[in-house]
Amino acid sequence: MAGSLRIALDAKRAYHNHRGLGNYSRDVIRLLTQYAPENEYLLFAQPSERYSFAHTRTIAPKGLWSCVPSLWRTWGCVGDLKQADVYWGLSGELPIGIHKSGMKSIVTVHDAIFLRYPQLYSPTYRRLFARKMRYALQVADCIVAISEQTKRDIIHYFGTDAERIQVVYQGCNNRFREPVDASRVAAVRQQYALPDKYLLTVGAIEPRKNIRNLIEAMSLARIDVPLVAVGAYSKYAQQMAELAKERKVDLRFLHSLPFADLPAVYKGAEVFCYPSIFEGFGIPILEAMCVGTSVLTSTGSCFAETGGRAARYANPHEPAEIAEELRTVLGDWALREQMIAEGYKQAKMFADDKVAANLIKIIEGVGK
């Protein structure tokens, strides 16, 4: 890159979100600081003690703004942005008024699930986020979609010109690319009292992730291998526990699993099951492939973009189809080995150097 730039990044979710949006933001910061260290990176957010970011400087709200950090992020930070060359909204939003500031801007859009499945969100959330996203899409100098599926949704729901949208696939934390040996898997299995064989699902335990139909499929297929679900506790989790009991499915929850132990939990699973109804990218699919675990996920949405030829697919709305795929994968050791080998190849598409190169190309195009 000719010269250096001062890049401002919306870091709210990097500091405060522990799920997909937070993982994406943290990974973008890591990759940019590692692969383009000549730039200066300003993180706009109220910081937290849980995360820290090397080679960055955090810009936090001051004075009265510190009492209302959400308003500062939505509107009040525009004045502080004058010290940067480019602002990147990492989660579908840009500060109101940025188009009048002369500041170049990029926005990443992850999905439009709140419009595709409105019944999963409150009316207030839908109205608020639709308004924020529409503004960002109108004024951004560059729009980044994390998958072709997301690009199609941006065009469909907002009428955005396709030429303004760049698809940049995301990666995952490089911890998942580090080898996990058998002794580590055994230690984690003992620590959490995991069975010798288990199916695994990872993510928010909520209706869209579709654990209900996974339980129904296991019941139909009479699979006696336990299902381990990693995710924060929710009322829905309790409902699924009751359903599993009714269906005689052995369901076990890990609600507070430290991140450092997650790769070994992936590695110890027979199959990683991700029957989600819809996603923007599906990071857990990539995490499982990086670790070396076979993947069964959903047809439609973005899943084939992430899983490629490595994964098996089933209609998430059809428990019988999920059941058939589970029987096939669990009953064929050689098939699982082939899926794992293909998974390692597929995961290379989302390696750090490739993702970083695409991110830097975006910045170069906007900041020149």
Tokens read off for 290 = 């990086």
Q: What strands, in cross-sheet order, belong to the sheet with 227-230? A: 251-254, 227-230, 199-202, 271-274, 295-298, 312-314
Kindly report, as residue ranges, where domains of CATH 3.40.50.2000 are found in the chain: 6-171+351-367, 174-349
Answer yes or no: is pLDDT of 368 > 90: no
Half-sphere exposure of 103 (CA within 13 A, CB side): 28
pLDDT digits (tens, 9 = 90+) for 304-325: 999 999 999 999 999 999 999 9
Question: Rounded to the nearest 10 degrees, what angle do helices 235-247 and 211-221 cross at?
Answer: 10
Percent of the chain with pLDDT over 70: 99
Q: What is the mean pLDDT of residues 89-107?
A: 95
Mean pLDDT for the stretch of residues 217-242: 96
Q: Is the pLDDT of residue 2 over 60?
A: no
Name the pTM for this structure.
Answer: 0.92
Residue 139 CA to residue 168 CA, distance in Å, equals 19
Euclidean distance between the first and final Cα of the chain, in Å? Answer: 9
**Region for 130 from its dihedrals, namely left if φ exceeds 0, alpha if ψ lies in -120 to 50, beta otherwise:** alpha
Q: Yes or no: say if 52 and 81 are a contact pair by the CB < 8 Å rule.
A: no
For position 98, what pLDDT does the model report? 96
Phi/psi at 51 (nearest 5 deg)? -125, 145
pLDDT of 3 above 90 = no
Superfamily covering domain 6-171+351-367? Glycogen Phosphorylase B; (3.40.50.2000)
**Is the confidence at residue 235, as pLDDT, over 90?**
yes
Q: Rounded mean pLDDT of 63-74?
A: 93
If residue 227 lies in a helix (H) or strand (E), which one and from where to where?
Answer: strand 227-230
- 3-state secondary structure (DSSP) of residue 181: coil
Q: Is pLDDT at 347 greater than 70 in this prediction?
A: yes
> How large is the average pLDDT for residues 110-116?
94
* Region 67-86 average pLDDT: 92
| Domain range 174-349, CATH class | alpha beta
Q: What is the rounded distance in angstroms from the CA atom of residue 343 to the CA atom of residue 310? A: 5
Q: What is the pLDDT of residue 198?
A: 98
> b vs e for 40-64, b when ≥16 Cβ sit within 10 Å of the residue's Cβ?
bbbbbbbbeeebebeebebbbbeee
Share the mean pLDDT of the chain. 95
Answer for the pair 300, 187: CB distance below 8 angstroms, yes or no: no
Q: Is 1's pLDDT higher than 70?
A: no
pLDDT tens-place string over residues 127-171: 999 999 999 999 999 999 999 999 999 999 999 999 999 999 999
DSSP per-residue letters across 90-115: TTS---TTGGGTT-EEEEEE---HHH
**Rounded mean pLDDT of 16-28?**
92
Angstrom distance (rounded) from CA 134 to CA 127: 11
* Residue 82 pLDDT > 90: no
Of the candidates 274, 196, 203, the residue with the CA atom closest to the CA atom of residue 234: 203
Contact between 154 and 164 under an 8 Å Cβ cutoff? The reply is: no
Residue 366 confidence (pLDDT): 94
C-alpha 220/C-alpha 359 separation (Å) is: 45
